[in-house]
Amino acid sequence: MAINQKQVLSLQQKLSPQQIQMIKLLELPTVQLEQRIKQEIEDNIVLEEEERAPEEEEQPQQISVDEYLREDDTPSYKSRINNFSKDDKQRPVYLTEGRSLQEYLVEQLGYRNLSEREMRLAVYLVGSIDEDGYLRRDLESVADDIAFTIGLETSAGELERILGVIHELEPAGIGARDLRECLLLQMEQLPLNTRARRLARKILTNYFDEFVKKHYEKLMARLQVSEEDFREAIAEIRRLSPKPGNLYAEGGTDTTPYIIPDFILDYQDGRFNLSLNSYNVPEVRVNRRYVEMIRDMVGADGKVKEQDREALQFVKSKIDSAKWFISAIKQRHDTLMRTMQTILDYQQEYFKDGDRSKLRPMILKDIADRTGLDVSTISRVVNSKYVQTQFGIILLKSLFSEAMQTDSGEEVSSYEIKNILQQCIDEEDKRRPLTDETLMDILNSKGYRIARRTVAKYREMLGIPVARLRKQI
């Protein structure tokens, strides 16, 4: 085959590295933006953090002699005795996180009569327990990992015996492989001194599947017990914890989720005041020393010495990168404010008092059309962003909902239908829960034309199980 050359003209769309970086900056919430800016300051030598101007101190108010001598207005803290002198050493207060669940379990293992080998295996098993308190891996796989990591040959039978020791530790139910075992372990630590507890243990041991599926009539017939006795046994089971790891909370402070809002919205005297939360976000600028360095490298004739050419090119590229990064941060600020202001204008009635029934149907395209931005840009802006209002911190994504049309032709938000759905289920007879078909008929009678599969979808979004699993006695 002959080898030849030819020119082909084609048109392609590609994102530049700067555009990709801009997209990533747009997605970042406030906390991650702060970390990203600090990382850029470390990577780029010409970037520096701009010091914030100190806040002006308020001038002390003039107090008259009559106000000073008036005893009724004396604050309570002024009447307390101060027993500390200026020479007393100020001791810092150290805050500790506390023990983790695994450390607490290992501490309890220390009181057990275990050999060195058994202790090492038990510690490894404890390390495999998740935050809910379950050992979700089979013992064969754990035995293989132990052989590779700590060099101990063991078997599933030996690990089963050591796991039995862990099952005796606190909190009750720790180290269970499934829900049934977890509940039974907790029942074993309770005295079976009542008929209800004995019946509850029998249900968990022999009829767990029927209990989970809530086949209560079938269970009462098989056990030959009255409805009252069966209700007391179910009450005993409900007192048990399905997640024993949550019963230990001494060292769980590090997992507490904290939300830092990206926007702050104030509503006073009928007016909104929207601002971007940039309190912890550092302001950056180009270090003037490097700009002057470039000027010094360039001679009076505008030429650069050969030995300075490489250094000049390096510093110039860093300055260009820094300027672009600063411009990207500003563009991010403008895009976020523009989008949030449009959402505020669209959902103004809702932001006045937080009444979800006042939420208008809104999709990403509605905001994209009003701002002139792309739908993908709006999606990145609202993703993982929060706004602080007078009635709480709101996830922006939760403000978007589908539009449903009533018989009268009026468009309503899907939130309104979900509220009616939730209300119907809250008020239903728990002995005979409403099926999705019945809920659909109720909504249709109220003027909401909705299919049964849509009812099922909204019910799942609300975290509500099917009618069979909502049944109670």
Q: Quote the pLDDT of residue 202.
A: 92
Helix (H, G, I), strand (E, B) or coil at 448: strand
- For residue 36, the SS3 value is helix
**Distance, CA of 64 to CA of 54 (rounded, Å):** 30
The sign of the dihedral angle between the CA atoms of 317, 323, 327, 332 is positive
Running along the chain, 473 residues long, what does each successive block of 10 average in pLDDT? 81 70 81 85 83 57 50 45 47 55 89 90 91 90 89 90 92 91 91 89 90 86 89 89 79 57 88 85 82 73 70 82 87 91 90 82 89 89 88 87 66 74 85 85 82 85 81 74
pLDDT tens digits along 132-174: 899 998 999 999 999 888 888 989 899 999 999 999 999 889 9
CA atoms of 271 and 280, how far apart (whole Å)? 26
pLDDT in tens, 65-103: 455 445 444 444 444 444 444 444 444 444 445 678 888
The pLDDT score that the predictor gives to residue 88 is 46
Q: What is the maximal distance between C-alpha atoms in the chain?
A: 109
DSSP assigned state of 362 = B
pLDDT of residue 160: 93
Q: Helix H segments across 169-226?
A: 179-188, 195-206, 208-212, 216-223
DSSP H helical ranges for 347-392: 348-353, 364-371, 375-382
Spacing of C-alpha 323 from chain mean position = 34
| Spatial separation of the C-alpha atoms in residues 265 and 344, rounded to whole Å | 9
* Amino acid identity for residue 64 in this structure: S
- pLDDT at position 427 is 85
The tokens of 22 are what? 């801009």
Of the candidates 149, 154, 145, the residue with the CA atom closest to the CA atom of residue 118 = 154
pLDDT of residue 409: 59
| pLDDT at residue 419, rounded to an integer | 81
Give residue 418's identity as a one-letter amino acid code.
K
Q: Which of 159, 150, 42, 166 is nearest to 104 (CA)?
A: 166
**Containing H/E element for 461?**
helix 452-461
Other C-beta atoms within 10 Å of 6: how many? 4
What residues does 276 pair with on adjacent strands?
Answer: 263
Q: Tell me what pLDDT residue 342 has.
A: 93
Residue 408 and residue 447: Cα distance in Å, rounded? Answer: 8
- Site of tokens 């979800």: 356
Report CA Rg, the chain. 33
Cβ contacts of 360 within 8 Å, gap of 6 or more: 346, 347, 349, 350, 413
How many CB atoms are located within 10 Å of the residue 99 CB? Answer: 14
- CATH number listed for the domain at residues 403-470: 1.10.10.60
Q: How far from chain centre, in Å, is Cα 61?
A: 45
Paired tokens of 177:
């492989």
**Beta bridge pairs of residue 268:** 271
Phi, psi of 304 (to 5 degrees): -115, 140
The answer to whether the peptide bond before residue 171 is cis (omega within 30 degrees of 0) is yes
Domain boundaries, the chain: 101-247, 263-399, 403-470
Q: In the beta sheet, which residues pair with residue 264? A: 275, 388
What pLDDT, on the 0 to 100 scale, is given for residue 15? 63
Instruction: Compute the distance between CA of residue 122 and CA of residue 162 in angstroms, rounded to an integer.
Output: 6
d(CA 144, CA 137) in angstroms, rounded, equals 12
What three-state secondary structure class fits 406? strand
- Structure tokens of 191? 């005295």
